[in-house]
Amino acid sequence: MADTVSPEVRSRMMSANRRKDTGPELLVRRHLHAQGLRFRLDVRKLPGSPDLVLARHRVAIFVHGCYWHRHEGCRFATTPKSNQAFWAAKFARNVERDERAIAALLHMGWRVGIVWECALRKDRRDPSLSTLVAWLHGNSDRIDIPARGPS
């Protein structure tokens, strides 16, 4: 199936996607701040440039968009119909880069949290954020919210 918009319009639409200060990221930041937790943003010195870093807890948190980071089984992880080879390669590189960054952080002794965009939808937001805060005060190395997969 062909794309419904011109390549120029599609390019403009895709370039409008933000790298930081996204809606889901702001939700997580507001919640953690309200819980009295303080953090740094977009720490470029760490592998993968985590969205939030809580140095006191030695925690790096990534807020992943289901589309760009390919949340497996999620209905928001769609693939464009046009230029599928390009998109498949791009998404595969994104996933591989994420895996390398997480492995490097864990190897460095950091704890890693991943909050998926779909976990922050209105009906799932409160339990997901509560799970994140509970994990922060725990001692496990990694959490994936939602761990259940599809949304």
pLDDT in tens, 116-138: 999 999 989 999 999 999 999 99
CB of 58 closer than 8 Å to CB of 110: yes
19-145: CATH architecture:
3-Layer(aba) Sandwich (3.40)
Tell me: pLDDT of 22 over 90: no
- Please answer whether residues 124 and 146 qualify as being in contact, where contact means their C-beta atoms are separated by less than 8 angstroms: yes
Q: Which of 84, 64, 78 is nearest to 128 (CA)?
A: 64
Alpha carbon of 65 to those of 35, 109, 140: distances in Å?
A: 23, 25, 23
pLDDT of the residue at 82: 80
Q: What pLDDT was estimated at residue 149?
A: 47
Looking at the predicted structure, is the pLDDT value of residue 9 above 70? yes
Tens digit of pLDDT for each residue in 28-77? 999 999 999 999 998 899 999 999 999 999 999 999 999 889 998 898 88
Say if CB 98 and CB 142 are below 8 A apart: no
Sorting pLDDT into bands at 50, 70 and 90, what band is 151?
very low
Residue boundaries of the structural domains of the chain: 19-145
